[in-house]
Amino acid sequence: MLNTISDEDLVKTIVKTNDTLLFEILYDRFSQMVYNKCLGFSKDEDEAKDLTQDVFLKLFVKLASFKGKSKFSTWLYAFTYNHCVNYVTRNTQKKIQREFIDIEIAETVEDGEFELYNFHDMKVEKLKKALELIAPEEKMILLLKYQDYLSIKEIEDVLSISESAVKMRLKRAKDKLINVYNNKLIDGESV
Amino acid sequence: MENPFKYIDKPLRPVPAELKAKVMSDVATAKLLMELANLFSIDVVKIIEATIAERKKKTN
């Protein structure tokens, strides 16, 4: 019965009971996803293991902050990315800053403009290298949109930022990635 | 045309087996600390509500 319970119901029950055995089921369902996302932000497997361990500990403590506005998996993607980005930028103090949003620019950016047309010709290995060369916050928002397929609305909810901020950040991250891909990498090597 | 983002983390790597025991041990410690903290914390809202209810009883 526990194997068929939805993620959201499982989370509700864990929050109510603090049952560690139920949390183990949650770990079994999501550990591979979390581990692989952490690998994308770490330099080796040991670092990814440490990050995954921290993410699950923090998840247990903060599980009650999941309000069910989105699917649990969606929320967990953002939760994991946020932890990884904070870890990667811990020394540089490059935390996500509230940006001044140029409303005029933001309003001209329509959802349709985030289609994948610019990415279609990209090679996977070269794309991976380009993602390493942009800021972790930019990498996070691109992965949420293009790898995890979150809508603008879902990104607004999980990052707690406005629609125009989501659009602006996506546009900037995408422009930066395309620029790095086209100009800073030759045959996948940084120049 | 395919979305290249779909393939950047493929193939998915398996989670190291020893990680689960570490996570569950962390979680058990966290649970103990949270329960201890609950034992010694005061629910201010509950106290205020109880006091108001008590006052109302007295004035009626």
- Per-residue pLDDT tens for A106-137? 444 444 445 555 677 788 889 999 999 999 99
The nearest CA of chain A is from the CA of B54 a distance in Å of 29
Please report residues of A whose CB lies closer than 8 A to that of B14. Answer: 32
Task: Out of B24, B26, B31, name the one closest to residue A18 (CB).
Answer: B31
Please report residues of B whose CB lies closer than 8 A to that of A140. Answer: none
Task: Report the chain A residue with the minimal C-alpha distance to residue B20.
Answer: A27
Please, are residues A83 and A149 in contact by the beta-carbon 8 Å criterion? no
Round to whole Å and give the CA distance between A141 and A48.
Answer: 20
What pLDDT was estimated at residue A103? 44
Interface probe with A: pick from B6, B9, B39, most Cβ of A within 10 Å:
B9
The nearest CA of chain A is from the CA of B49 a distance in Å of 23
The nearest CA of chain A is from the CA of B43 a distance in Å of 17
Round to whole Å and give the CA distance between A170 and A184.
Answer: 20
> Which DSSP symbol is given to A118?
G
pLDDT band at A49 (very low <50, low <70, confident <90, very high): very high
Instruction: Give A190's strand partners.
Output: A185
Buried b (16+ CB within 10 A) or exposed e, A58-90: bbbeebeebeeebebebbbbbbbbbbbbebbee
Q: ipTM above 0.90?
A: no
pTM: 0.79
Lowest-confidence range among A14-23, A82-91, A152-161, A182-191? A182-191
pLDDT band at A28 (very low <50, low <70, confident <90, very high): very high
Q: Locate the DSSP E strands across chain A.
A: 185-186, 189-190
- State yes or no: pLDDT of A94 exceeds 90: no
Lowest-confidence range among A33-37, A70-74, A150-154, B44-48? B44-48
Contact B23/A56, CB-based, under 8 Å?
Answer: yes
Round to whole Å and give the CA distance between A56 and A48.
Answer: 12
Please report residues of B whose CB lies closer than 8 A to that of A131. Answer: 8
**Ramachandran class of B3: left when φ > 0, alpha when ψ lies in -120 to 50, beta otherwise:** beta
Lowest-confidence range among A10-14, A17-21, A116-120? A116-120
